[in-house]
Chains A and B, each alone.
Chain A
Amino acid sequence: EPEVTQTPSHQVTQMGQEVILHCVPISNHLYFYWYRQILGQKVEFLVSFYNNEISEKSEIFDDQFSVERPDGSNFTLKIRSTKLEDSAMYFCASSGMDRAAGELFFGEGSRLTVL
């Protein structure tokens, strides 16, 4: 069964360092998303991406964040200069249909710990 794959599963970094989280969405999907979940809390929308550009972003997704689809399969989230409050589980999701129609398929997440 096709699945969304995320790497690394856990990353520990020092405050101020750059982090790149990697995702391989399901191959025929066209819509890509990043969400984050601070431990035990709600799942927060960060950004959506379609047709090689950002469709929508939340207030959390400030200038420190960027996304890229560098080739036909990967979808990355970069945090330029990490802060302690960026510590969270980051989930990538993809969908074959737009927001009006489709379910989201989530990866298992990348846990980011900022020290």
Chain B
Amino acid sequence: SQQGEEDPQALSIQEGENATMNCSYKTSINNLQWYRQNSGRGLVHLILIRSNEREKHSGRLRVTLDTSKKSSSLLITASRAADTASYFCATDEAFNDMRFGAGTRLTVKP
């Protein structure tokens, strides 16, 4: 089925380091969104980037979108232990409702 696919599946870093997660998709999109999920909780929207945008920032988050490569990246700078969570990208590929990937599980060690 059409959906974003994240990599890596898991990422473990030290507090203060940067974390980069990637997402790839297969067909045309209107927008790509990143969400965060703490263990056992609901998903929380982080940032939305439209197909005509290349980069967006929100606090310590930076998202890029390369439509020619059908990929996006989420960068979290100066990570904190509280950033430990799973991160999902979601796309509206082929103009369908948002589909999610399998997520990247980020662990930030204090």
Bound-state CA distance A35–B43 (Å) is 11
Bound-state CA distance A44–B4 (Å) is 12
Residue contact A100 to B92, C-beta cutoff 8 Å: yes
Contacts of B42 in A (CB 8 A): 4, 91, 106-109
Interface-lining segment among A11-19, A54-62, A65-73, A80-88: A54-62
Bound-state CA distance A35–B103 (Å) is 15
Bound-state CA distance A42–B6 (Å) is 10
Interface-lining segment among B19-27, B67-75, B94-102: B94-102
Contacts of B45 in A (CB 8 A): 103-105
Residue contact B31 to A101, C-beta cutoff 8 Å: yes
Residue contact B43 to A33, C-beta cutoff 8 Å: no
B41 partner, pick from A99, A103, A105, A108, beta carbons under 8 A: A108
Contacts of A108 in B (CB 8 A): 41-42
